[in-house]
Amino acid sequence: MTTTYDFWLAGRRASGDADFEVHNSWDGRLVGKVSIPTEAQVEEALDAAVAALPVFAATPAHQRAAALDHVAKRLTERTEELAQLVTAENGKPIKWARGEIGRAVSVFRWAAEEARRTNGETMRLDTDPGGVGRFAVVRRFPRGVVLGIAPFNFPLNLVAHKVAPAIAVGAPIILKPAPSTPLSAMVLGEILAETDLPAGSWSILTVPNDRMPALVQDKRVPVISFTGSDKVGYQIMDSVPRKHCTLELGGNAAAVVLADWSSEADLDWAATRIAMFANYQGGQSCISVQRVIADASVYDALVEKVVAKVKAQVTGDPNDASTDVGPLIDENAAKRVESWIEDAVAKGAKVLTGGTREGATVAPTVLAELPEDAILAKAEVFGPVLSLHKVDGVDEAFAAVNDSAFGLQAGVFTHDLQTAFRAQRELEVGGVIIGDAPSYRADQMPYGGVKDSGVGREGVRYAMDDYTVEKVMVLTGLDL
């Protein structure tokens, strides 16, 4: 029997007058049906969020922290159930789905801790004669209702990155999960409903994409947090120029292997990490390895190892614990990736392994001699494809990284501390990972990009800053 999931309106279950289906991309089976809110129900959620703002913002820190702790606890208890659900709706291998649930637990735990220790700051103002007797207290308060728009590739953890910081600061949030992967967000709603958060402080609405412009532009929502494609993200920002937007967008992340990373063990490690993180999540991660930029002195040895380790990636049923690479989100996505590979080959690229498609699954693919006019050379592939590039020296390597419209993260394999600091200084990215692939992300660190990779930062405390604004109170006539 197929489960029909209600959405969550102002903290309670609700159903609309229509629904849509969610299918598994591996075998096409129906995973569940989800109810769609009516326009009147969306209005109700907006009104409830606005009404909840002063109440929620005034809740004591311990209450918000306790709710976040509860969510972390319950996600832990329901890890296997949620992992199975993420695999069913998303198609990612079960081992990666289990890891995603663990990360979501950490996000809510971090948010609980930040809710308890966010104190603002104080400053004495008598550092100048005109400030004698004056003392400032600086605190942060919610900007208003947050609209969180989540993507399909991490259907629980990236939802957590929208919801947990909002709860931590007392900002009402309306969450819109991706239409292809809404089910784990619905279960998160079940857990949130077990807390004593104020009515209206959160809603999870499965609004169809074609109805989103009205919600995005609604004046009752001053904050938008969006994770997804650069095209859609900048369309949102352009449509609401006076709103506060955080955009976590695309990338074509580079892994740089420099001349000093030359031992057998070094190259084994680099190849292992590159192969894994070019293909994890089916390559459907903004920081998947897409470009490998290797110094000429290590290039040939590295290529041999990368190809061997990519070939060793196990592709198949995502429910099998041994599977490394599952299907893409749907067959259309796989066909697009296949067409980009064909475009590259037609223009002169060489396929060293992979390059084929079966249904929604694309075989892990390695390309060499990728021409600059290939789509894959510049755009984000969002699939299990990497290209190999030979350079001479650090200058050329870093120039190659920066030769991109995107700038999310880069990995630099080097032992040289000076080169590491130079990479942080010169690379046009939001994060540099030294000694590892660019795909590393700790959920408490600031995460985001430059150029077409977006604006703003996630990571619990940094998202809390984005959702709030400083207010200054100056006390006068004090004997300091």
Q: What is the pLDDT of residue 3?
A: 87
Calpha distance 135→112 (Å, rounded): 30
Which structure tokens are listed for 438? 């660019």
Condensed to tens digits (0 to 9), the pLDDT of residues 50-69 reads 999 999 999 999 999 999 99
Cα–Cα distance between 429 and 421 in angstroms, integer?
13
Q: What is the pLDDT of residue 330?
A: 97
pLDDT computed for residue 2 by the predictor: 78
SS3 92: coil
Amino acid 381: pLDDT = 98
Closest CA to 386 of 410, 427, 355: 355
Catalytically active residues are 248, 286
Backbone angles phi, psi at 319, to 5 degrees: -80, -10
Percentage, residues of the chain above pLDDT 90: 99
Distance between CA 328 and CA 214 in Å, rounded?
Answer: 30
Strand-pairing partners, residue 450, are: 407
Residue 209 neighbours by CB distance under 10 Å: 11
Residues of the chain short of pLDDT 50, as ranges, are: none
Secondary structure of residue 190 in the 3-state scheme: helix
Spell out the long-range contacts of 188-191 with Cβ–Cβ below 8 A and sequence spacing 24 or more: 188/71, 188/75, 188/156, 188/159, 188/160, 188/163, 189/7, 189/8, 189/13, 191/70, 191/71, 191/74, 191/75, 191/78
| Domains, the chain, with CATH or none | 4-249+454-472 (3.40.605.10), 254-442 (3.40.309.10)
At 427, give phi and psi (nearest 5°).
-75, 135
